[in-house]
Amino acid sequence: MPSERESRREIVLWGKMLHQRGFVAATDGNLSVRLDEHRILATPTSMSKGLMRPADMVIVDLEGHRLAGRRNVSSEIAMHLLIYRLRPDVRGIVHAHPPTATGFAAAGIALNQPLVCEVVIGLGSIPLARYGTPGTPELSDALAPLIPEYDAILMSNHGVVAYGDTLHQAYMKMETVEHFAQIALVTHLLGRQNPLSAQELEKLMVARSKYQGTKSAAALPIAMVCEGGNHHDGRQPAAPSTPSENTSKRRAGSRQR
Ligand SMILES: [Zn+2]
């Protein structure tokens, strides 16, 4: 487990990456690391994620009370604390507004189609949580049912949150989400989507447990079924699917011809 000092440096590093990749603008976004059972190290509010220093970070307890640090903690800390409470396996969280994935979130479209095998293995499916005002229970209520089931979530009209057993893993998931959103956008532009079949998804599920010893909670994509062939608009309601719904939809998945 990384020391507090290492964790501060890691937040600086991945914050810079978020900024360099254009995943955040101005002072957007926030990152955090679970230091131990009671303490979370998080980014301060009102600071560019490209300009932070290790000493700028804030330590809070699981209720969000500041334990150390000169600055105020991110206003979106409640979302981080919710994830740490619901997912004891999570040690790092990244929240950002990458433009393509956030475009999907603003259009009300989940990234839940099995279009790319490696995304299925790495992340499963990326659902869309309904809109909630940042920093309010409304947002927590929208995210809570999805957090145990997925490792990255689109937040309607807002952005993306991704988390993992390290901050590094959480950041990588954020990159995968944005990259996959770009690919999904291209399929929308081409007017065709050719999702993986249910049989192929089964094989990927086997591969996934082999590769990852799968620590990932992420549910598999919903293989879309639509009448009239390959193309559909991919529009999904901004509401969580229950695991049982996922399972039945997963089984129903098939390649559209
Ligand atoms: Zn945000």
What is the distance in A from the centroid of ligand 1 to the CA of 158? 6
The pTM of the full predicted model, rounded to 2 decimals, is 0.84
What is the distance in A from the centroid of ligand 1 to the CA of 188? 26
What is the distance in A from the centroid of ligand 1 to the CA of 75? 9
Query: Shortest CA distance to 226 belongs to which of 178, 189, 192?
Result: 192
Whether the Cβ atoms of residue 86 and residue 143 lie closer than 8 Å to each other: no
Whether the Cβ atoms of residue 21 and residue 101 lie closer than 8 Å to each other: no
How far apart, in whole angstroms, are the C-alpha atoms of residue 184 and residue 202?
Answer: 21
Lowest mean pLDDT among 1-15, 23-37, 141-155, 204-218: 204-218
Residues in the chain: 257
Q: What is the total count of domains within the chain?
A: 1
What is the distance in A from the centroid of ligand 1 to the CA of 46? 12
Predicted pLDDT of residue 208: 81
How much is the CA Rg of the chain, to the nearest whole Å? 18
What is the distance in A from the centroid of ligand 1 to the CA of 191? 30
Is 249 a residue whose pLDDT tops 80? no
Whether the Cβ atoms of residue 256 and residue 226 lie closer than 8 Å to each other: yes
Ligand 1 is a single-atom ion; what residues have CB below 5 A from it? 159
When pLDDT is averaged across residues 136-164 and rounded to a whole number, the result is: 96
Predicted pLDDT of residue 205: 84
Is 1 a residue whose pLDDT tops 90? no
Predicted pLDDT of residue 206: 85
What is the distance in A from the centroid of ligand 1 to the CA of 120? 25
> How is residue 216 written in tokens?
């990932």
How far apart, in whole angstroms, are the C-alpha atoms of residue 147 and residue 168?
Answer: 19
What is the distance in A from the centroid of ligand 1 to the CA of 169? 19
The reply to whether 257 falls in a domain is no
How far apart, in whole angstroms, are the C-alpha atoms of residue 254 and residue 105?
Answer: 25
The mean predicted confidence, pLDDT, of the chain is 86
When pLDDT is averaged across residues 65-79 and rounded to a whole number, the result is: 96
The reply to whether 138 falls in a domain is yes
CATH number at residue 8: 3.40.225.10
Q: Are strands 66-68 and 159-164 parallel, antiparallel or unpaired?
A: unpaired
Lowest mean pLDDT among 178-187, 204-213, 245-254: 245-254
Other C-beta atoms lying within 10 Å of the C-beta of residue 203: 12
What is the distance in A from the centroid of ligand 1 to the CA of 163? 15
The reply to whether 134 falls in a domain is yes
What is the distance in A from the centroid of ligand 1 to the CA of 124? 23
**Given CA atoms 187, 223, 118, 1 in this order, what sign does their dihedral have?**
positive
Is 207 a residue whose pLDDT tops 90? no
Predicted pLDDT of residue 81: 98
What is the distance in A from the centroid of ligand 1 to the CA of 166? 20
What is the distance in A from the centroid of ligand 1 to the CA of 193? 30
Domain ranges, residue 153 = 4-252
What is the distance in A from the centroid of ligand 1 to the CA of 228? 38
Give the model's confidence band at 242: pLDDT under 50 very low, under 70 low, under 90 confident, else very high. Answer: very low
Decide which of 163 and 235 is more confident. 163
